[in-house]
C-alpha cells in the first residue's frame, strides 16, 4: 500500500476530474480508456505483490500461530481486495466481472477446506478463514463460495472499509444501481453492504447462516449494532480492532448514551467549560479511578469560557494550555507517567463502552423482532445526537439494508 500510494493518489485525482465532468461518482465503464488502463495496471501490480507476499509469509505465520497454542485461529486470506480498496481502486473503476472476484474467494475457500483437514483436531472446528469483498454482490458470492466448501466459522476484514474516507452517490445491490440522496460515506455503507451480502449469499446456498463469524478490524460503536442485525441467525459474533486504542491516544472517546457516538476530547472540554455538561460523570471504573487521582477543576474551565467564549482547541488541552489543568483526562500530556495514565484510562473507557454495547446486543438478541426494535432505537438516537446530517442519513440507509427493508 505504501509502495503504490503515490501512483494511487495520481490516479484518484484523475478520477475526480472525470467525475466532475460526469457530475456523479463514476459508474462501471464510465472512465476514459487511458485512465481505466492505468487503474488496471496498478491493480495487477498490487495483486501480484499481494500473492507473492502471502506465499512468503503464510507458512511462517502458521507455525507461529500454532506455537502459542491457540483456542481459535484466523486462517488463510487473500489481501488483494483490501489492498485495492486501500489504493482507492473501486469495483466501478475496474473491468473485472463478478466471476473474477468470486475466483479470489474460491481459491481462499478451497485452501481453507484443505488446511482445516491438516490442523490438530482441537483447532479444526475453530478455524476462521478470511473472506473478502468490496460490495454487496461480491460479498454475496463470497458467502455462497464459503458455504459450498462447508466452512461454518468465517472471518472478514472490515478495517479497510472503516479507513475509507471517501463518499459515494450510489450503491449496487444484485446488479441494480441505486441512486442515493446525495453523497454518503463509503465506510458506513460498505461495512453493512458486505455483511448483509455475505449472510444473504451464505444462507441462500446453505439454507442457514454461518455458525460463527469474526469481524476483523471493526470497533466503531454504531457499526457493531448494524452488522449484528445484518448477521441475524449466527449465534457467535466476535470483533477485534485497534481503533479503540488509536482513538484513545488521539483524543476520541466512545459513548453509548445518549447514543453510540465517538466524541473528541476538545468537544467534551468545551461542553464542560460552557456549562452544558455539569461534570465528568462517566460510571466506568477507568474514569472513576482516574478522576479520583486527578480531579477536574471545573471552576478553572468555566472561568476560561466566561472570559472569552470560544471552541476548545488542541493547544488549550496541551501543556501550557488554558484547559490543560482543568480537565486532566481530556488533556494531552507530552510524555511521562501522566501520559501513560491518560492513555490507559481512555483505552479502558473505550473498551468498557464497547462491552456495554455488546451486553445490550445480547440482551436484545432473543428474537429478530426484538433486535430490530433495539437497533432502530440505536439508529434514531444516533440521528438525534450526531452533528452530521450526512452520517445520519448513511446510518439510516444502512439500517434499512440490515433490517431487510425496501430501499
Kindly tell me if the per-residue pLDDT of 99 is higher than 90.
yes
Domain identity same for 220 and 258: no
The average pLDDT across 207-211 equals: 97
Determine, yes or no, domain membership for 92.
yes
- Position 123 scores a pLDDT of 92
**Residue 388 domain-assigned?**
no
Please state, as a whole number, how many other Cβ atoms lie within 10 Å of the Cβ of residue 295. Answer: 10
Q: Looking at the structure, do residues 115 and 231 belong to the same domain, yes or no?
A: yes
Q: Supply the pLDDT for residue 285.
A: 98
pTM exceeds 0.75 for this model? yes
Residue 125 shares a structural domain with residue 190: yes
Residue 60 falls inside a structural domain: yes
* Spatial separation of the C-alpha atoms in residues 61 and 50, rounded to whole Å: 15
256 and 186 in a common domain = no
The answer on 270 and 156 residing in a single domain is: no
226 with 256, same domain: the answer is: no
Query: Considering the domain boundaries, does residue 342 fall inside one?
Result: yes
Residue 376 lies in a domain: no
pLDDT digits (tens, 9 = 90+) for 3-13: 999 999 999 99
Same domain, 169 and 301: no
Instruction: Let me know: does 322 contact 305? Beta carbons within 8 Å.
Output: no
Per-residue pLDDT at 111: 95
pLDDT, tens digit, for every residue of 9-29?
A: 999 999 999 999 999 999 999
Q: Which residue has cell 488542541?
A: 314
Burial class of residue 353, CB neighbours in 10 A (0-12, 13-18, 19+): buried
Q: Which helix (H) or strand (E) segment is 128 a member of?
A: strand 127-128
Total domains, the chain: 2
pLDDT at 53 over 90: no
Q: Tell me phi and psi for residue 216, to 5 degrees.
A: -75, 125
pLDDT for the residue numbered 52: 87
Confidence of residue 63 (pLDDT cuts 50, 70, 90): confident
Within a domain: 222: yes
* Last residue in a domain, options 241, 271, 296: 241
Compute the mean pLDDT over every residue in the chain, rounded to the nearest whole number: 95
Q: Does residue 407 carry a pLDDT above 90?
A: no
User: Are residues 338 and 252 located together in one domain of the fold?
Assistant: yes
Q: What percent of the chain has pLDDT over 90?
A: 93
Residue 395 located in a structural domain? no
- Residue that finishes a domain, picked among 196, 224, 241: 241
- Do 72 and 135 belong together in one domain? yes
Pair 193, 63 in one domain: yes
221, 266: one domain? no
Does residue 405 surpass a pLDDT of 90?
Answer: yes
Domain of residue 71, residue span: 5-241
Q: Of 354, 378, 394, which one is at a domain's C-terminal end?
A: 354
Tell me the per-residue pLDDT of 138-161, one tens digit each, with 9 for 90 and over. Answer: 999 999 999 999 999 999 999 999
Residues 289-313: tens digit of each pLDDT: 999 999 999 999 999 999 988 899 9
User: Is residue 58 over pLDDT 90?
Assistant: no
Examine residue 378 and state whether it is found in any structural domain, yes or no. Answer: no
**Do 217 and 295 fall within a single domain?**
no
* Residues of the chain above pLDDT 70, percent: 100
Amino acid at each position: 500500500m505504501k509502495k503504490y500510494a503515490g501512483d494511487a493518489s495520481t490516479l484518484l485525482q484523475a478520477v475526480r476530474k472525470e467525475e466532475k465532468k460526469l457530475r456523479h461518482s463514476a459508474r462501471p465503464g464510465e472512465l476514459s480508456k487511458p485512465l481505466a488502463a492505468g487503474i488496471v495496471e496498478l491493480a495487477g501490480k498490487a495483486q501480484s505483490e499481494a500473492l507473492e507476499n502471502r506465499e512468503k509469509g503464510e507458512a511462517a505465520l502458521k507455525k507461529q500461530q500454532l506455537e502459542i497454542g491457540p483456542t481459535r485461529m484466523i486462517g488463510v486470506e487473500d489481501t488483494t481486495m483490501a489492498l485495492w480498496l486501500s489504493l482507492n481502486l473501486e469495483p466501478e473503476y475496474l473491468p473485472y466481472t463478478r466471476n473474477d472476484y468470486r475466483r479470489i474467494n474460491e481459491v481462499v475457500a478451497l485452501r481453507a477446506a484443505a488446511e482445516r483437514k491438516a490442523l490438530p483436531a482441537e483447532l479444526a472446528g475453530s478455524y476462521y478463514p478470511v473472506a473478502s469483498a468490496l460490495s454487496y454482490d461480491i460479498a454475496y458470492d463470497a458467502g455462497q463460495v464459503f458455504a459450498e466448501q462447508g466452512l461454518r466459522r468465517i472471518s472478514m476484514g472490515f478495517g479497510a472499509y472503516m479507513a475509507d474516507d471517501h463518499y459515494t452517490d450510489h450503491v449496487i445491490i444484485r446488479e441494480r444501481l441505486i441512486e442515493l440522496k446525495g453523497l454518503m460515506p463509503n465506510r458506513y455503507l460498505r461495512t453493512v453492504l458486505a455483511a448483509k451480502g455475505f449472510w444473504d449469499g451464505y444462507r441462500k446456498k446453505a439454507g442457514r447462516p454461518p455458525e460463527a463469524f469474526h469481524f476483523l478490524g471493526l470497533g466503531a460503536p454504531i457499526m457493531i449494532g448494524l452488522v449484528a442485525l445484518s448477521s441475524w441467525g449466527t449465534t457467535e459474533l466476535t470483533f477485534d480492532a485497534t481503533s479503540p486504542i488509536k482513538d484513545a491516544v488521539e483524543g476520541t472517546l466512545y459513548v453509548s448514551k445518549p447514543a453510540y457516538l465517538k466524541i473528541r476530547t476538545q468537544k467534551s472540554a468545551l461542553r464542560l467549560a460552557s456549562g452544558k455538561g455539569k461534570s465528568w460523570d462517566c460510571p466506568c471504573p477507568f474514569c472513576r479511578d482516574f478522576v479520583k487521582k486527578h480531579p477536574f477543576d471545573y471552576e478553572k474551565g468555566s472561568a476560561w469560557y466566561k472570559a472569552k467564549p470560544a471552541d476548545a482547541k488542541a493547544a488549550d488541552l496541551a501543556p501550557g494550555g488554558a484547559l490543560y489543568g482543568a480537565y486532566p483526562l481530556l488533556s494531552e500530556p507530552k510524555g511521562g507517567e501522566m501520559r501513560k495514565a491518560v492513555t490507559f484510562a481512555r483505552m479502558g473507557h473505550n473498551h468498557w463502552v464497547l462491552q456495554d454495547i455488546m451486553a445490550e446486543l445480547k440482551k436484545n438478541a432473543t428474537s429478530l423482532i426484538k433486535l430490530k426494535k433495539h437497533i432502530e432505537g440505536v439508529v434514531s438516537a444516533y440521528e438525534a445526537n450526531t452533528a452530521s446530517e450526512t452520517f445520519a442519513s448513511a446510518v439510516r440507509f444502512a439500517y434499512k439494508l440490515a433490517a431487510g427493508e425496501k430501499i
